[in-house]
Amino acid sequence: MWLVSESLALVVLVAVTAPLLRPHGIAGSSIPLVNSRQPFELGYTKARQRCLADMSGFITKGLGKAKIRNSSALSVGRFMAERLHAHLAGFEPWRQVSAPDRLFPETIRTRLMQPLDTRSGKRDGMIEWHRVVLKPSALAIVYSIDSFVAADELHRWPKVFRPVIAWISPSCRKIRGQLREARALMEPILRQRSVRRETGVPAPHDDALEWMEECARGRPYDPAVMAQIGMATVSLHSTADMLTQVLYDLCGRDDLILALRDEVRSVVEQKGLTVSALHDLQLMDSTLKESQRLKPGNATDLHRTDAIVLSDGTRIPRDSYIIVSADRRFNPDVYPNPATFDAYRSMKLRQTAGKETHAQVNTPSPEHLAWGLGKHACPGRNLVVTEIKIALCHILLKYDIKLMDNVRPPPVKNGIAMSANSTAAILVRRR
Which tens digits make up the pLDDT trace of 2-22?
Answer: 334 444 344 443 444 444 444
Neighbouring CB atoms inside 10 A of 32's CB total 12
The amino acid at residue 427 is L
Domain boundaries, the chain: 65-113+133-430
Q: How confident is the model at residue 112 (pLDDT cuts 50, 70, 90)?
A: low
DSSP letter, residue 229: I
Percentage of residues of the chain with pLDDT beyond 70: 74
37 or 270, which is more confident: 270
Contact 143, 69 (CB under 8 A): no
Neighbouring CB atoms inside 10 A of 220's CB total 9
Q: What is the pLDDT of residues 77-91, one digit of tens each?
A: 777 778 888 889 988
Question: Binding site annotation covers 251?
Answer: no
C-alpha to C-alpha distance for 369 and 358, rounded to whole angstroms = 12
Give the range among 183-187, 224-228, 243-247, 350-354 with minimum mean pLDDT: 224-228
Helices then strands, counting H and E runs in the chain, come out as 18, 10
Q: What is the pLDDT of residues 352-403, one digit of tens each?
A: 887 777 889 988 888 888 887 777 777 778 888 998 999 999 999 999 999 9
Give the angle subtended at the CA of 182 by the CAs of 176 and 188, to the nearest 5°.
140
What's the pLDDT at 426?
Answer: 94
**Residue ranges of E strands in 56-211:** 74-75, 130-133
Percentage of residues of the chain with pLDDT beyond 90: 26
C-alpha to C-alpha distance for 401 and 375, rounded to whole angstroms = 38
C-alpha to C-alpha distance for 23 and 321, rounded to whole angstroms = 12
Q: How confident is the model at residue 187 (pLDDT cuts 50, 70, 90)?
A: confident
Most confidently modeled range among 122-131, 180-189, 319-328: 180-189
Q: Under 8 Å CB-to-CB from 103, ≥6 apart: which residues? A: 96, 212, 215, 216, 219, 221, 226
Give the range among 71-80, 257-266, 274-283 with minimum mean pLDDT: 71-80
Q: How confident is the model at residue 170 (pLDDT cuts 50, 70, 90)?
A: very high
**Residue ranges of E strands in 160-245:** none
Mean pLDDT of 133-140: 49
Most confidently modeled range among 14-18, 60-64, 153-157, 355-359: 153-157
Neighbouring CB atoms inside 10 A of 351's CB total 10
Sign of the dihedral through C-alpha 38, 42, 43, 46 = negative
C-alpha to C-alpha distance for 34 and 25, rounded to whole angstroms = 9
What's the pLDDT at 275?
Answer: 83
C-alpha to C-alpha distance for 341 and 208, rounded to whole angstroms = 37
**pLDDT score of 244 more than 60:** yes
The amino acid at residue 69 is R
Q: Tell me which H or E stretch contains 259.
A: helix 254-271
pTM above 0.75, yes or no: no
Mean pLDDT of 317-340: 83
Q: Under 8 Å CB-to-CB from 4, ≥6 apart: which residues? A: none
Give the range among 218-222, 284-288, 362-366 with minimum mean pLDDT: 218-222
Give the angle subtended at the CA of 79 by the CAs of 73 and 80, to the nearest 5°.
140
212 or 266, which is more confident: 266
Most confidently modeled range among 5-14, 111-120, 284-293, 367-376: 284-293
C-alpha to C-alpha distance for 327 and 333, rounded to whole angstroms = 12
Q: Which CATH class is domain 65-113+133-430?
A: mainly alpha
**pLDDT score of 208 more than 60:** yes
Q: Under 8 Å CB-to-CB from 341, ≥6 apart: which residues? A: 249, 253, 290, 291, 294
